[in-house]
């Protein structure tokens, strides 16, 4: 039976795409085959709009073991230790069902990491919501946070940090990006490429249900209120099953019985089997009667397209089947041989002794459509704000307004719902510039930071793209880590619109330029398009997750000021760029103008020099200057320690607001002992780094000379109220 | 000293407590829940985590597992048993300890560093601490809100069967310093013979200076005394 026009359309395939399917098959497709094509050719799985541009990103250097294209990226941190990591979006499902959407986002990214033989050691996230006063926000925030915690806490992987932001652009499209980081022996990494023919294809993990059918296709379209009945049931997560699957897989991986392994994520059994066969240039034949099903009378169509969670596909060494089965029996998980590898280069599906699908593998992968979409350059806003035209406010009021705003408030209401220390290797939880997790049983650690700057990217996508990479790099440096590599999650609107595609292309260009300059390769990532509702797109929101290494645990620093009498200097030049600043947004609701400029030369130089100061024990506490500018960063250092600061008035005749709230890039605050001032000055001058001493640490009082004086404790309170008030149970 | 850590499907603090024990030279064995025999041990630990996914009710399914009947009989014979977090929930579900652990009063999972005040050191588990000493420990649970009837509560209070109460850094024990709604700020309890301890805070998470502190080490050191 051939498929109808309506069926083609409802599978999200365009008429010319179906024409191509017919050519590739040499005949019409049946409904099952159509479903399979739709699952493999959608944006989420095929990267058809983004691939051409993603190829530009730097993905290799001497520490990269495996770049993009696998379940996760792999980097070398020395001594046979490898770090496996990736970030991924779960935006669409989380908006429909926040708890399960977020939970299964975490589950999926964990599987990507342990599929490769790594034990997950940390989770991070970046979550974006609409304005707090938007009626949906509170429910979404609370559901997403519980979902992230509910999954990670139960599996027993610490959620060590992340970011939470609010902006009206996400009112109808929230972002939930989850990142997982694992540790493996670099000689024991597992890949998805199938090898050898007649090898058993084994299904392990949970049973297949009817949940999430066509989830990936739906995540590749704008939300459409009229297709309610086609909306997927969002997948339901079972962290308990995930924990068992994790332990069983890692136990099996001690041995050499796995030839290749792939988790069943988006597009479930379809994409996992196709991906393994495609990478190995082999065929795969499955008997769908063998697939463990949770519900009765499931059809082949449902089995192939279900996105039930906590499942894996393994190609095993045929001699090791019994040993492997024993391990999965021990963990009470299904272990069923459902097919074999073949040399036919085709995906062949059998059911009730009949061949029900027969598709050449390359048709689903290499020959999937690839689009060089039209794009237009973004118009940049040149309107610069003049401070003197604004209503007069006091510096301290502006500071308090920012510190108590949703975007800058202390997030312990969120992070107290995440187990941050299970596994007993968390050295620094959230709240600092980067999270720090020790490599188990070793005297070294990794630093992790997740960052985004949608406002900057909206104002200037290319510069914004550069900025996030730089900010991420800076956050890693600020704890004493050597930045190594990143993963990215690129959240955008509908790529079929040239303006949106332009934002994407320019952001990627910016990321590329910064990553190349900083030798900071992209080793994994994910693209999420169609974050649009009723044709209203989100701001371009690339999210960067970076990893750095700390070779000596004694060289770690944090943002807490240490001792009264110590001095604080700004490293990097303050120009007073006030457009796109938190100061203008929080105090005046002004959103226009260009973002701060990125100078990659200074960025790199300043960062490497700060790292040297940390390694020589000269920098006692460090904080990068980001959203909110110098004064907000100084306040955060004070709030963190409880000590006060005496801040000097700017020496040159600059505007105080621009000086204290400008968001010029490439800057750090460092605390040091007075005795070391000369030494540090000489060192910075020799390396042509601009600096100025700006404050002295004191007890209790946070003040700017002759301007204002506040109790640090009060600053702490201003910074700590918003979340609990917002979420108070009435 | 020999110790056994029981491992259920879904346990996730089993490795953490084993690391702390081994650091103090305990000879530790990990015992899988399907086992029917328990090796001779001076200490049995029922670790934290989400045994059986916390499905049905935290600790309820684990309380019916093979190995638990061995743990119960060892406990009745006077073996030292430590249940941490989910382990405390399991010890209550299997009847070795009395009372109930309800959902946190704030209806959210809570994970943070808190303070507890040692109420009594006249027992095997806290003899290395001073009575009145304040410890910084970490909690991570959704059901840690201890409740029991009036009669049992009096028995606990009158017989030094509550070794730990939630407090602040100065030792104030009141509603403000109670993270989960637990009756009388109870963070842990003993059975009558004080050989079985259940506690919500995780001592194994405060056993390493590089991480967040060593206030939990005293508990394991006490057991070696």
What are A500-554's pLDDT values in tens digits? Answer: 999 999 999 999 999 999 999 999 999 999 999 998 999 999 999 999 999 999 9
Query: In percent, how much of chain B has pLDDT > 90?
Result: 98
Chain B residues whose CB is inside 8 A of the A426 CB are 211-212
Q: CA B223 to CA B225: how far, in whole Å? A: 5
Confidence of residue A230 (pLDDT cuts 50, 70, 90): very low
Residue A194 pLDDT exceeds 80: yes
Which residues, 6 or more positions from A182, have their beta carbon under 8 angstroms from its beta carbon?
A72, A83, A84, A85, A113, A114, A116, A118, A119, A120, A121
Residue A479 pLDDT exceeds 80: yes
- Concatenate the DSSP letters of all residues of A30-94 into one string: -HHHHHHHHHHHSHHHH-TTTHHHHTTS----TTEEE-BTBSSEEEE-STTEEEEEEEEE-HHHH
Asked if the Cβ–Cβ distance from B111 to A154 is below 8 Å, we say no
Q: CA B218 to CA B126: how far, in whole Å? A: 7
Residue A100 pLDDT exceeds 70: yes
Confidence of residue B123 (pLDDT cuts 50, 70, 90): very high
pLDDT at residue A730, rounded to an integer = 44
Answer whether A660's CB lies under 8 Å from A393's CB: no
Q: CA A71 to CA A465: how far, in whole Å? A: 24
**Residue closest to B166 by CA, chosen among B183, B190, B147:** B183
Q: CA A205 to CA A264: how far, in whole Å? A: 10
A332 burial via Cβ count (<10 Å: 0-12, 13-18, 19+): exposed
Q: CA A309 to CA A654: how far, in whole Å? A: 57
Spacing of C-alpha A388 from chain mean position: 40
Asked if the Cβ–Cβ distance from B54 to A154 is below 8 Å, we say yes
Tokens representing residue B216 in the block: 């939990």
Mutate to test the interface with A, among B21, B60, B143, B210 (most CBs of A within 10 A): B210
A250 burial via Cβ count (<10 Å: 0-12, 13-18, 19+): middle
pLDDT at residue A8, rounded to an integer = 92
- Tell how strand A73-76 and strand A81-89 pair up: antiparallel
Torsion of CA A249, A250, A252, A258, to 10 degrees: 80
Q: DSSP 3-state assignment of A284?
A: strand
Residue A458 pLDDT exceeds 90: yes
- Please report which helix (H) or strand (E) contains residue A571, including its range: strand A567-571
Average pLDDT, chain A: 94
pLDDT at residue A235, rounded to an integer = 82
Distance from CA of A308 to the nearest CA of B (A): 18
Given A11, A44, A53, A577, the catalytic residue: A44
**Residue closest to A491 by CA, chosen among A452, A463, A534:** A452
Chain B residues whose CB is inside 8 A of the A553 CB are 210
Tokens representing residue A234 in the block: 């969002």
Confidence of residue A216 (pLDDT cuts 50, 70, 90): low
Which residues, 6 or more positions from B151, have their beta carbon under 8 angstroms from its beta carbon?
none
Given B85, B93, B94, B141, the catalytic residue: B85
Residue A675: CB atoms within 10 Å: 8
Residue of A nearest to B105 (CA): A729
The pLDDT of B89-116, averaged and rounded, is 96
The pLDDT of B82-92, averaged and rounded, is 98
pLDDT at residue A223, rounded to an integer = 64
Chain A residues whose CB is inside 8 A of the B112 CB are 412, 416
Q: What count of CB pairs under 8 Å joins A to B? A: 87
The pLDDT of B21-32, averaged and rounded, is 96
Q: CA A626 to CA A661: how far, in whole Å? A: 10
The pLDDT of B51-73, averaged and rounded, is 95
Q: CA B78 to CA B72: how far, in whole Å? A: 10
Average pLDDT, chain B: 96
Mutate to test the interface with A, among B7, B9, B17 (most CBs of A within 10 A): B9
Distance from CA of A129 to the nearest CA of B (A): 20
Residue A594 pLDDT exceeds 90: yes
Residue A227 pLDDT exceeds 60: no
Helices A137-155 and A239-253 cross at an angle (nearest 10°) of: 40
Chain A residues whose CB is inside 8 A of the B32 CB are 330
| DSSP H stretches of helix in A97-238 | 98-114, 137-155, 215-218
- Tell how strand A668-672 and strand A311-316 pair up: unpaired
pLDDT at residue A219, rounded to an integer = 58
Asked if the Cβ–Cβ distance from A243 to B12 is below 8 Å, we say yes
Q: CA A87 to CA A175: how far, in whole Å? A: 12
What residues of B are in the A interface, CB distance below 8 Å? 9-10, 12-13, 15-16, 19-20, 32, 34, 48-50, 52-55, 107-112, 138, 140, 204-205, 207-208, 210-212
Tell me the torsion sign for CA atoms A433, A435, A439, A442: positive
Answer whether B97's CB lies under 8 Å from B151's CB: no
The pLDDT of A144-158, averaged and rounded, is 97
Asked if the Cβ–Cβ distance from A149 to B205 is below 8 Å, we say no
The pLDDT of A596-619, averaged and rounded, is 97
Chain B residues whose CB is inside 8 A of the A418 CB are 111
Residue of A nearest to B179 (CA): A416
Place of tokens 């014979």: B77
B202 is catalytic: yes
Asked if the Cβ–Cβ distance from A426 to B52 is below 8 Å, we say no
Query: In percent, how much of chain A has pLDDT > 90?
Result: 89
Q: What is the DSSP letter of A14?
A: -
Tell me the torsion sign for CA atoms A647, A651, A652, A653: positive
Confidence of residue B37 (pLDDT cuts 50, 70, 90): very high
Q: Which of A156, A332, A416 sits opposite B111 (nearest CB)?
A: A416
Distance from CA of B95 to the nearest CA of A (A): 24
Residue A563 pLDDT exceeds 50: yes
Complex-level ipTM: 0.96
Q: What is the DSSP letter of A416?
A: T
Distance from CA of A419 to the nearest CA of B (A): 5
Residue of B nearest to A422 (CA): B13
Mutate to test the interface with B, among A123, A143, A419 (most CBs of B within 10 A): A419
Phi/psi of residue A533, nearest 5 degrees: -135, 130
Spacing of C-alpha A33 from chain mean position: 33
Residue A229 pLDDT exceeds 70: no
pLDDT digits (tens, 9 = 90+) for A55-78: 999 999 999 999 999 999 999 999
* CATH assignment of B2-224, among 3.10.180.10, 3.30.2040.10, 3.40.50.880, 3.30.1280.10: 3.40.50.880
Confidence of residue A44 (pLDDT cuts 50, 70, 90): confident
Residue A357 pLDDT exceeds 50: yes
Q: Would an 8 Å CB–CB cutoff place A493 in contact with chain B?
A: no
Residue of A nearest to B15 (CA): A423
Question: What residue spans define the domains of chain B?
Answer: 2-224
**Residue closest to A536 by CA, chosen among A167, A173, A136:** A173
- Please report which helix (H) or strand (E) contains residue A16, including its range: helix A15-25
Tokens representing residue A501 in the block: 């595609």
B13 is catalytic: no
| DSSP H stretches of helix in A485-628 | 498-518, 582-588, 600-615
Q: CA A718 to CA A399: how far, in whole Å? A: 10
Chain A residues whose CB is inside 8 A of the B13 CB are 156, 422
pLDDT digits (tens, 9 = 90+) for A290-300: 999 999 999 99
pLDDT digits (tens, 9 = 90+) for A638-688: 999 999 999 999 877 678 999 999 999 999 999 999 999 999 999 999 999
pLDDT at residue A232, rounded to an integer = 54
Q: Which of B12, B110, B207 sits opposite A416 (nearest CB)?
A: B110
The pLDDT of A705-710, averaged and rounded, is 95
Q: DSSP 3-state assignment of A700?
A: coil
Chain B residues whose CB is inside 8 A of the A330 CB are 32, 34
Which residues, 6 or more positions from B3, have their beta carbon under 8 angstroms from its beta carbon?
B21, B26, B27, B28, B29, B41, B42, B43, B44, B45
Q: CA A522 to CA A73: how far, in whole Å? A: 8
Give CA angle at B113 (B142, A108), nearest 5°: 55
Q: Would an 8 Å CB–CB cutoff place A442 in contact with chain B?
A: no
Q: CA A634 to CA A269: how far, in whole Å? A: 52
Tell me the torsion sign for CA atoms A397, A399, A400, A404: positive
Q: DSSP 3-state assignment of A147?
A: helix
Q: CA B182 to CA B193: how far, in whole Å? A: 23
Asked if the Cβ–Cβ distance from A421 to B19 is below 8 Å, we say no
Chain B residues whose CB is inside 8 A of the A727 CB are none
Residue of A nearest to B11 (CA): A156
Asked if the Cβ–Cβ distance from B210 to A553 is below 8 Å, we say yes
Chain B residues whose CB is inside 8 A of the A412 CB are 112
Residues in chain B: 225
Mutate to test the interface with B, among A119, A416, A441, A558 (most CBs of B within 10 A): A416
pLDDT at residue A222, rounded to an integer = 66
Start-to-end CA span in chain B (Å): 10
Chain A residues whose CB is inside 8 A of the B14 CB are none
pLDDT digits (tens, 9 = 90+) for B68-79: 999 999 999 999
Asked if the Cβ–Cβ distance from A239 to B50 is below 8 Å, we say yes
């Amino acid at each position: 039976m051939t498929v109808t026009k309506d069926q083609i359309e409802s599978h999200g395939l365009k008429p010319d795409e179906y024409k191509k399917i017919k050519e590739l098959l040499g005949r019409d497709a049946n409904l099952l085959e159509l479903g399979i094509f739709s699952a493999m050719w959608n944006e989420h799985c095929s990267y058809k709009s983004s691939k051409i541009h993603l190829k530009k990103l730097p993905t290799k250097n001497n520490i990269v073991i495996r770049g993009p294209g696998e379940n996760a990226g792999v980097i070398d941190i020395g001594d046979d230790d490898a770090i496996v990591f990736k970030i991924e979006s779960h935006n669409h499902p989380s908006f429909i069902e926040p708890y399960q959407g977020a939970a299964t986002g975490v589950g999926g990214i964990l599987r990507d990491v342990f599929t490769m033989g790594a034990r997950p050691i940390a989770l991070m996230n970046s979550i974006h919501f609409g304005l707090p006063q938007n009626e949906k926000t509170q429910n979404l925030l609370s559901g997403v946070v519980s979902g992230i915690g509910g999954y990670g806490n139960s599996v027993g992987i610490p959620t060590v940090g992340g970011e939470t932001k609010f902006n009206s652009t996400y009112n109808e499209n929230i972002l939930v990006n989850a990142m997982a980081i694992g540790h493996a022996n670099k000689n024991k990494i597992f890949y998805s490429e199938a090898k050898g023919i007649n090898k058993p294809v084994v299904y392990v993990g949970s049973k297949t249900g009817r949940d999430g059918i066509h989830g990936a296709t739906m995540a590749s379209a704008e939300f459409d209120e009229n297709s309610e009945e086609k909306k997927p049931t969002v997948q339901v997560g079972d962290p308990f099953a995930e924990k068992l699957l994790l332990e069983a897989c890692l136990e099996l991986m001690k041995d050499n019985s796995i030839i290749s392994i792939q988790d069943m994520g988006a597009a479930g059994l379809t994409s996992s089997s196709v991906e393994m066969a495609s990478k190995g240039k082999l065929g795969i034949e499955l008997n769908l009667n063998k697939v463990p099903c949770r519900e009765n009378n499931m059809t082949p169509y449902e089995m192939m397209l279900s996105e039930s969670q906590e499942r894996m596909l393994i190609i095993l060494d045929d001699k090791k089947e019994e040993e492997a089965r024993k391990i999965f029996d021990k963990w009470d998980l299904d272990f069923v041989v459902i097919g074999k590898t073949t040399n036919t280069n085709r995906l062949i599906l059998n059911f009730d002794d009949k061949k029900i699908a027969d598709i050449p593998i390359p048709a689903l992968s290499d020959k999937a459509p690839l689009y060089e979409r039209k794009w237009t350059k973004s118009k940049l806003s040149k309107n610069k704000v003049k401070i003197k035209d604004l209503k007069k406010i006091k510096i301290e009021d502006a500071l308090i307004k920012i510190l108590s705003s949703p975007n800058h408030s202390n997030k312990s209401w969120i992070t107290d719902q995440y187990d941050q220390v299970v596994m007993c290797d968390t050295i620094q939880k959230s709240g600092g510039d980067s999270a720090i997790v020790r490599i188990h049983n070793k005297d070294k650690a990794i630093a992790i930071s997740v960052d985004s700057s949608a406002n900057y990217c909206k104002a200037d996508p290319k510069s914004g793209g550069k900025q996030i990479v730089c900010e991420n790099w800076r956050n890693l440096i600020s704890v004493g880590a050597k930045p190594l590599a990143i993963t990215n999650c690129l959240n955008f609107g509908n790529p079929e619109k040239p303006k949106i595609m332009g934002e994407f292309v320019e952001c990627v260009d910016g990321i590329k330029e910064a990553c190349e300059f900083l030798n900071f390769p992209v080793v994994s990532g994910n693209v999420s398009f169609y974050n649009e509702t009723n044709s209203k797109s989100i701001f371009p929101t690339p999210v960067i997750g970076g990893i750095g290494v700390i070779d000596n645990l004694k060289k770690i620093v944090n943002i807490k000021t240490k001792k009264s009498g110590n001095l604080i200097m700004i490293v990097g030049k303050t120009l007073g760029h006030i457009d796109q600043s938190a100061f203008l947004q929080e105090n005046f609701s002004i959103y226009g103008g260009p973002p701060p400029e990125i100078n990659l030369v200074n960025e790199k130089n300043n960062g490497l020099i700060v790292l040297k100061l940390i390694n020589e024990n000269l920098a006692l506490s460090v904080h990068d200057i980001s959203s909110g500018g110098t004064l907000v960063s100084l306040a955060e250092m004070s709030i963190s320690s409880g000590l006060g600061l005496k801040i000097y008035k700017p020496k040159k005749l600059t505007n105080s607001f621009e000086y204290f709230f400008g968001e010029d890039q490439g800057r750090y605050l460092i605390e040091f002992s007075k005795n070391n001032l000369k030494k540090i000055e000489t060192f910075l001058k020799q390396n042509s780094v601009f600096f100025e001493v700006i404050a002295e640490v004191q007890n209790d009082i946070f003040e700017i000379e002759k301007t204002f004086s506040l109790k640090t404790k009060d600053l702490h309170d201003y910074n700590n109220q918003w979340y609990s008030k917002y979420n108070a149970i009435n | 000293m020999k110790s056994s850590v029981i491992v259920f499907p879904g346990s996730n603090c089993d490795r953490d407590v084993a690391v702390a024990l081994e650091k103090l030279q305990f000879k530790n064995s990990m015992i899988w829940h399907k086992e029917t025999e328990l090796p001779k041990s001076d200490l049995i630990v029922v670790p934290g985590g989400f045994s059986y996914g916390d499905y049905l009710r935290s600790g309820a399914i684990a309380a019916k597992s093979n190995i638990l009947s061995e743990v119960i009989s060892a406990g009745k014979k006077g073996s030292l048993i430590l249940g941490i977090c989910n382990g405390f929930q399991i010890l209550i579900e299997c009847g070795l300890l009395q009372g109930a652990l309800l959902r946190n009063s704030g209806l959210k999972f809570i994970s943070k560093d808190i303070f507890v005040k040692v109420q009594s050191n006249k027992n095997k588990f806290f003899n290395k601490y001073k009575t009145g000493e304040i410890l910084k420990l970490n909690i991570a649970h959704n059901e840690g809100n201890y409740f029991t009837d009036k009669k049992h509560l009096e028995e606990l209070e009158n017989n030094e069967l509550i070794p730990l109460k939630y407090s602040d850094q100065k030792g104030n024990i009141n509603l403000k310093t109670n993270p989960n709604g637990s009756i009388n700020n109870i963070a842990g309890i003993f059975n009558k013979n004080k050989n079985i301890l259940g506690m919500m805070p995780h001592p194994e998470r405060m056993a390493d200076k590089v991480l967040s502190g060593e206030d939990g080490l005293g508990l394991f050191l006490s057991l070696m005394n």
